[in-house]
Amino acid sequence: MKNVTNLNQFRKAKVRDAKRAQADENAVKFGRSKAQKDLEAARAEKARRELDGKSTT
């Protein structure tokens, strides 16, 4: 006799795999690399410093 299989486990695993695949696809499509994030942070910091340096009270 064969083992009894729980179809709910297979259904849930299929849904999990589909969500993981969609997440990976979105990460490639919309994600930014670490270098891009670092560059954006550096530009924001430089802009903040320049703005602080120009303020006169």
What total of structural domains would you count in the chain?
Answer: 1
- Helix (H) or strand (E) holding 6, with range, is none
Query: pTM here?
Result: 0.51
Q: Which domain holds residue 26?
A: 7-54
Which pair of structure tokens corresponds to residue 44?
Answer: 């924001």
Write the pLDDT tens digit of every residue in 1-56. Answer: 678 888 999 999 999 999 999 999 998 888 888 899 999 999 999 999 999 887 65
DSSP 3: P
Which pair of structure tokens corresponds to residue 24?
Answer: 């990976």
Residue 40 belongs to a domain: yes
Q: In the chain, what is the straight-line distance between the N-terminal and C-terminal CA atoms, in Å?
A: 86
Residue 2 belongs to a domain: no
Residue 45 belongs to a domain: yes
Residue 30 belongs to a domain: yes
Distance CA 46, CA 43 (A): 5
Q: Is pLDDT above 60 for 57? A: no
Residue 22 belongs to a domain: yes
Q: Which residue has the higher pLDDT, 55 or 57?
A: 55
Residue 1 belongs to a domain: no
Which pair of structure tokens corresponds to residue 3?
Answer: 């083992």
Per-residue model confidence (pLDDT) at position 33:
85
Residue 33 belongs to a domain: yes
Beta strands in the chain, from DSSP E residues, in sequence order: none
Residue 42 belongs to a domain: yes
Per-residue model confidence (pLDDT) at position 13:
95
